[in-house]
Amino acid sequence: MQTNARQISENVDNLLRPELSRRPAAPTAVLPLKTLCSSCHLRDFCLPCEMSGNDVEYLDNLPFVRSRVKAGQILFHEGDRFQFIYAVRSGTFKSCVTLADGREQVVGFHMNGELMGLDGLAQGKHASSATALEETQVCAIPYTHLLTLVAGKSSMQQVIGKLMSREIVREHSLMMLLGSMNAEERLAAFLLNLSQRLKARGYSASEFHLRMSRAEIGSYLGMTLETVSRTFSAFQQQSLLEVDKRHIRITDMNGLTCALEKHLH
């Protein structure tokens, strides 16, 4: 499972600061091709979002590195030194926190254009780990470079603050979900959220493939994998979904939305 994750992280690091490099970078892990933020097809979802055109071109001076992470590999571990924030270019990640006794909790799923690693700033160490759920590509953005780049540019400083704040808001919703929803509401909220994010990226809102296992969904939603499976079956019986393993087709979007508010009489 968790193979050369640190290796990759080091490779990214080494490319950025070759003078510190001890080992040659693994060519399979790093894509030397430089894509500029200003011309990136993800610029409306990623770091550049909410920036003015000028600011985005300013971002092009950022020495970030694109890197591949294969399914099951870990991009960064809990406790790793915080150096980069990562933007997902393609594929899906999960981020997890681990309890002393080994219990693991999925705290987020991340798809293209979304940022990971912002929780590392607090302690200078990552507070969660990020694992690829499929073949993925990420941009590793060196945080200190980003800081110096935006110094003085208050419009750009704001953007980073906003992105962190957005993460706080996102976690609020998840706490709401975990704290006061039943199994059906949780899964409905999860699917509708996924649907929206896919739609915003130009994919179908009603038909998609889950990149995560029942166990991972369960960990994220605070329930067991069996309950996740049963709830999928229940939705199918209510003719809200068609489920075939990880392939989902939402046949009654309104009905699913109602399942979110079913709790009240």
Partner DNA sequence: CGTCTTTTTGAATACTGTCAATTTAAGTGG
Partner DNA sequence: CCACTTAAATTGACAGTATTCAAAAAGACG
With the C-alpha atoms ordered 70, 31, 120, 153, is the resulting torsion angle positive or negative? negative
Please, which residue, 35 or 224, has the CB nearer to DNA? 224
Among 166, 198, 243, 251, binds a copy of itself (CB under 8 A): 166
Q: Is 118 in the site for a copy of itself (CB under 8 A)?
A: yes
Applying CB under 8 A, the span of 18-26, 165-173, 207-215, 241-249 interacting with a copy of itself comes to: 165-173
Cβ atoms of residues 64 and 48 within 8 Å: no
Query: Which partner from the list DNA, a copy of itself, none does 162 bind, CB cut-off 5 to 8 Å by kind?
Result: a copy of itself
User: Residue 231: how many CB atoms within 10 A of its CB?
Assistant: 24
| Contact characters 223-262, DNA, x per CB under 7 A | xxxxxxxx-xx---------xxxx----------------
Please, which residue, 8 or 259, has the CB nearer to a copy of itself? 259
Rg (CA), the chain: 19
Helix 143-150 crosses helix 154-180 at what angle (to 10 degrees)? 130
Q: Site for DNA (CB under 7 A): how many residues?
A: 22
Among 155, 173, 182, 257, binds DNA (CB under 7 A): 182
Among 55, 80, 119, 184, binds a copy of itself (CB under 8 A): 119
- As measured in angstroms, the least distance from the Cβ of 106 to a copy of itself is 8
3-state DSSP call for residue 56? Answer: helix
Q: What is the DSSP letter of 201?
A: T
| Contact characters 78-117, a copy of itself, x per CB under 8 A | -------------------x-xxxxx-x-x----------
Q: Is 215 in the site for a copy of itself (CB under 8 A)?
A: no
| Contact characters 51-80, a copy of itself, x per CB under 8 A | ------------------------------
Considering only the C-alpha atoms of the chain, give the largest distance between any 2 of them, rounded to a whole number of Å.
65
* Closest to 33 measured CA to CA, from 56, 49, 15: 15
Backbone angles phi, psi at 169, to 5 degrees: -65, -45
Please, which residue, 64 or 220, has the CB nearer to a copy of itself? 220
Applying CB under 8 A, the span of 19-27, 192-200, 205-213, 218-226 interacting with a copy of itself comes to: 218-226
Cβ atoms of residues 145 and 193 within 8 Å: no
Residue 5, CA distances (Å) to 55, 107, 141, 160 in order: 32, 19, 17, 26
Cβ atoms of residues 120 and 127 within 8 Å: yes
Cβ atoms of residues 84 and 141 within 8 Å: yes
* Closest to 250 measured CA to CA, from 208, 202, 196: 208
- Contact set with a copy of itself (CB under 8 A): 97, 99-103, 105, 107, 118-123, 127-128, 147-148, 151-152, 154, 157-158, 160-162, 164-169, 171-176, 178-180, 219-222, 261, 263-264
- Contact set with DNA (CB under 7 A): 182-184, 210, 213-215, 222-230, 232-233, 243-246
